[in-house]
């Protein structure tokens, strides 16, 4: 599933090419997670502004015509194409511009493109409400993490995944950050000490920074807007490595299931 680094990689690969382009057409395929909520005709002629990201959402401003909030769901990817190939069975949104075609391909259709008048206005504001801090926001640190975890009985891994404290620590990155910080993923969140919260905040940022530098993670089908795959999966320390030796201590990496998601960790390096 595309996580924050993959969405940011998509944004970076797209923003410069599409900024300033004029919308010349819009095609909807099969229904996505939410309806567009606008008449496509009303968006023709609008000029695309600077693409922004919040959590796993991209916001494509359309000058004086509001903007489009895009989410890649479980399996979506955005491509910016110079040519306009015929839509395939999984291509469910096309934004034609005078600079090229922005196409959302999404086999499982959990992704969405939603029109909104502005980021601060419903329905967009409602979709973004409840998101935690951005990981590279200077307000995200050990003190913030420690304060927000206080009293929570849920396992630390699930507290990270929830995304209401900090966004971006999806399944792979939560596993990797907990390994880097030496924290057992089953530790009750409220029992994380302040020094360990400091280490975890640093680790979350470091892992996401590495993932961005690697162009994201491609487990199955993630590609940036020019079709380039990510390579972070090659440097994962624990994720997807059940039974293989820990790269730090040699103990066998374990896999458990938490909240229906696989968690990978080293039982020797990561402490309760
Ligand atoms: Zn280890």
pLDDT in tens, 99-109: 999 999 999 99
Same domain flag for 147 and 202: yes
Dist. CA 269 → ligand 1 center (Å): 4
Which of 128, 155, 181 is where one domain is finished?
Answer: 128
Question: CATH number, domain at 208?
Answer: 1.10.8.50
- pLDDT the model gives residue 65: 96
DSSP for 91-107 reads EEEEEEETTEEEEEE-T
Same domain flag for 120 and 9: yes
The stretch 25-41 carries a mean pLDDT of 96
Q: Is residue 109 part of a domain?
A: yes
Q: How confident is the model at residue 35 (pLDDT cuts 50, 70, 90)?
A: very high
Same domain flag for 165 and 256: yes
Dist. CA 62 → ligand 1 center (Å): 49
Dist. CA 31 → ligand 1 center (Å): 45
Dist. CA 268 → ligand 1 center (Å): 5
Q: Is residue 181 part of a domain?
A: yes
Q: Which of 58-62, 90-94, 228-232 has the lowest mean pLDDT?
A: 228-232
Dist. CA 179 → ligand 1 center (Å): 8
Q: Which positions are annotated as active-site residues?
A: 2-3, 56, 261
Which of 81, 103, 128 is where one domain is finished?
Answer: 128
Q: Is residue 99 part of a domain?
A: yes
- pLDDT the model gives residue 220: 79
The rounded mean pLDDT for the chain is: 96
Q: Which residue range is the domain that position 123 belongs to?
A: 4-128
Read off the tokens for 233: 């999966």
Cβ proximity of 43 and 70 under 8 Å: no
* pTM of the complete model: 0.95
Dist. CA 4 → ligand 1 center (Å): 26
Same domain flag for 118 and 150: no
Distance CA 113, CA 109 (A): 11
Structural domains in the chain (count):
2
Same domain flag for 96 and 152: no
Dist. CA 178 → ligand 1 center (Å): 12
Residues within 5 Å of ion ligand 1, judged at the Cβ atom: 246, 248-249, 251, 266, 268-269
Same domain flag for 25 and 120: yes
Same domain flag for 8 and 124: yes
More confident residue, 57 or 84: 57
Helix H, strand E, coil C: the string for 147-214 is: HHHCCCCCEHHHHHHCCCCECCCCHHHHHHHHHHHCECCCCEHHHCCHHHHHHHHHHHHHHHHHHHHC
Dist. CA 123 → ligand 1 center (Å): 45
Which of 128, 163, 178 is where one domain is finished?
Answer: 128
Q: How confident is the model at residue 219 (pLDDT cuts 50, 70, 90)?
A: confident
Same domain flag for 124 and 153: no
Same domain flag for 158 and 111: no
Q: How confident is the model at residue 258 (pLDDT cuts 50, 70, 90)?
A: very high
Question: CATH number, domain at 117?
Answer: 3.20.190.10
The stretch 140-153 carries a mean pLDDT of 98
The stretch 244-249 carries a mean pLDDT of 98
**The dihedral sign for the CA sequence 123, 127, 129, 135:** negative
Same domain flag for 180 and 103: no
The stretch 114-127 carries a mean pLDDT of 96
Q: Is residue 226 part of a domain?
A: yes
pLDDT at 56 over 90: yes
| 156-215 residue pLDDT tens | 999 999 999 999 999 999 999 999 999 999 999 999 999 999 999 999 999 999 999 999
Q: Is residue 163 part of a domain?
A: yes
pLDDT at 247 over 90: yes
Q: Is residue 272 part of a domain?
A: no
Same domain flag for 99 and 36: yes
Same domain flag for 120 and 146: no
Q: Is residue 235 part of a domain?
A: yes
Q: Is residue 165 part of a domain?
A: yes
- pLDDT the model gives residue 1: 84
């Amino acid at each position: 599933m595309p996580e924050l680094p993959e969405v940011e990689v998509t944004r970076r690969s797209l923003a410069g090419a599409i900024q300033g382009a004029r919308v010349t057409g819009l095609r909807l395929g099969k229904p996505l997670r939410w309806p567009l909520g606008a008449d496509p005709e009303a968006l023709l002629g609008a000029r695309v502004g600077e693409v922004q990201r919040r959590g796993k959402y991209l916001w494509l401003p359309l000058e004086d015509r509001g903007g489009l909030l895009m989410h890649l769901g479980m399996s979506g990817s955005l491509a910016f194409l110079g040519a306009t190939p015929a839509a395939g069975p999984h291509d469910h949104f096309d934004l034609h511009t005078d600079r090229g075609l922005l196409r959302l391909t999404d086999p499982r259709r959990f992704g969405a493109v939603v029109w909104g008048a502005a980021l601060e206005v419903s329905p967009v504001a409602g979709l973004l409400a409840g998101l935690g801090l951005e990981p590279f926001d200077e307000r995200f640190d050990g003190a913030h993490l420690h304060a927000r975890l206080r009293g929570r009985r849920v396992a630390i891994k699930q507290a990270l995944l929830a995304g209401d404290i900090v966004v971006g620590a999806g399944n792979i990155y939560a596993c990797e950050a907990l390994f880097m910080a030496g924290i057992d993923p089953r530790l009750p969140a409220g029992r994380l000490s302040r020094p360990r919260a400091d280490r975890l905040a640093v680790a979350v940022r470091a892992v996401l920074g590495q993932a961005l530098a690697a162009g994201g993670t491609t487990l199955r089908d993630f590609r940036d807007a020019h079709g380039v795959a990510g390579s972070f999966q090659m440097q994962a320390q624990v994720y997807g490595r059940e039974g293989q030796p820990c790269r730090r201590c040699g103990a066998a990496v374990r896999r458990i299931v938490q909240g229906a998601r696989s968690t990978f960790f080293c039982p020797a390096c990561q402490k309760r």
